[in-house]
Structure 1
């Protein structure tokens, strides 16, 4: 798996600083598990953050205090790869072994459970199923399963949407998105995903505001779907 679409710089910096919501963090961490390029960029962002913090405080700290601060910062960076946002990224569930094809990506298990086979999909529309995470901090986090060849309604975003493709693929004005790819979208993006032939497209998405639909029918149905 070699992702072609990645997290943007603002998302990586916010992730490094612990400034993303837990829901956005879960999706970003799912991408980072699959993308070495973004892991390298994250490490660079964390190094820059550490240098900036050191420069800011250097004038006020003597050599001993700077050394202690550096050690504490390195310890925190080591810990950041294991746990963020109060356990959003958790250890492997005891009933799921590493590499098990039935295992959900690790960062999503706190919200959706440990395995694909245990998921209970809710019918939303013909060919479209969804699972909404019940316990969130306020942002929306959901899994979507969309049948092949389906055209989703044209929409834009009132805020930020971060989507990670888990299975299948879709195409829109931004390109072809397949497993491992992230769609890191802001409120200036309008698109219409069309799922590719073959397997259903399954993705996880976090949103900090409802979608915006120009079509009247989609707007009428929006309260029922909850997007």
Structure 2
């Protein structure tokens, strides 16, 4: 973006700049600092929609930055997605953080589906045959999100369903099955390693949400 805007930066003074390209939160905050130096009001935004959904009720767009700037240009911004235009916060990096967080969910779900499709493929089960059950499983897993979110915010992880220890047993079977059938074991290994660390930290009898502690730590 800076390759395009740096040469014309002086012409942006006194204007509002809205950026809807994908970037990280650090980049968004750095761009806000750059904009402030040249006298430009900056809104960072993300598009959570496919290109064909832009301008329809299915489009969701998130914005962060100065609230007065969002309010001033809200009518224009809503033209890209009337119902799904959301202002988040003054922190310029928050929209990018939401974007990365949503993408992590998407890739996590899709990678889980691909692992399952690879396993079933060894028995000549087509991915299209697996797809309806996979969709049901995804919906079931989504049902845990609200409960686990409350537990994460409260810092308490009562096991109303399965414990981490129970999940560990299933993960070990997934790894063994993947090894035996000759499919990729990287994803099952990640599952298992995170669960083992969580149990070692004293959360074997807690809910799956207790694994948040592992995700909050930097990688070794």
Q: TM-score by structure 2 length?
A: 0.26
Larger radius of gyration: 2
Name the one with the larger strand percent.
Answer: 1
Q: TM-score, normalised by structure 1?
A: 0.25
| Structure with greater proportional helix content | 2
